[in-house]
Amino acid sequence: MIVRELTAFDPDVLLDLYASVGWTNYTRAPEMLLKAYENSLLTLGAYDGDKLAGVIRAVGDGFSVVLIQDILVFPEYQGKGIGTRLLHEVMDRFPDVYQMELMTDNTAKTVAFYRSAGFVKADDMGCCAFMKM
């Protein structure tokens, strides 16, 4: 598996990836998704040969905050350490950032995944998160 920075985005492949994991908010707004990718701080792709296996997308300023906005792996590649590798690649690129944040589903699987990478739930730190969509 090769991980490299994505600078050009194939909308069809991205939409297939988002659809494969059920993230329909993005598939319903493909123009927004492409603009989001074009304006991200960092986007990395994991490749199996020429085939995209997964992506991670980070936004922020890279100094005070990096927000892991999206991390997705095609179902047939899940459970092979690709998501972990992508996450660590971003963490390695911003070792001195003050805050690395993310928002995810509150399931045992996702909580265990992010805890294993050193993340702590906001409420465990006496914090809470707010969103407006």
Count: domains in the chain: 1
With respect to residue 61, please indicate whether it lies within any of the assigned structural domains: yes
- What CATH number corresponds to the domain at position 96? 3.40.630.30
With respect to residue 32, please indicate whether it lies within any of the assigned structural domains: yes
With respect to residue 19, please indicate whether it lies within any of the assigned structural domains: yes
The whole-model pTM stands at 0.89
The Cα–Cα gap between 93 and 25 comes to 28
The confidence score (pLDDT) of residue 132 equals: 86
- Quote the domain boundaries for residue 121: 2-125
With respect to residue 131, please indicate whether it lies within any of the assigned structural domains: no
The confidence score (pLDDT) of residue 130 equals: 86
With respect to residue 133, please indicate whether it lies within any of the assigned structural domains: no
**Could you list the pLDDT tens digit for every one of the 133 residues in the chain?**
899 999 888 889 999 999 999 888 888 888 999 999 999 999 999 999 999 999 999 999 999 999 999 999 999 999 999 999 999 999 999 999 999 999 988 899 889 989 999 999 988 989 988 888 8
- Count Cβ atoms within 10 A of the Cβ of residue 54 and give its class: 0-12 exposed, 13-18 middle, 19 or more buried: buried
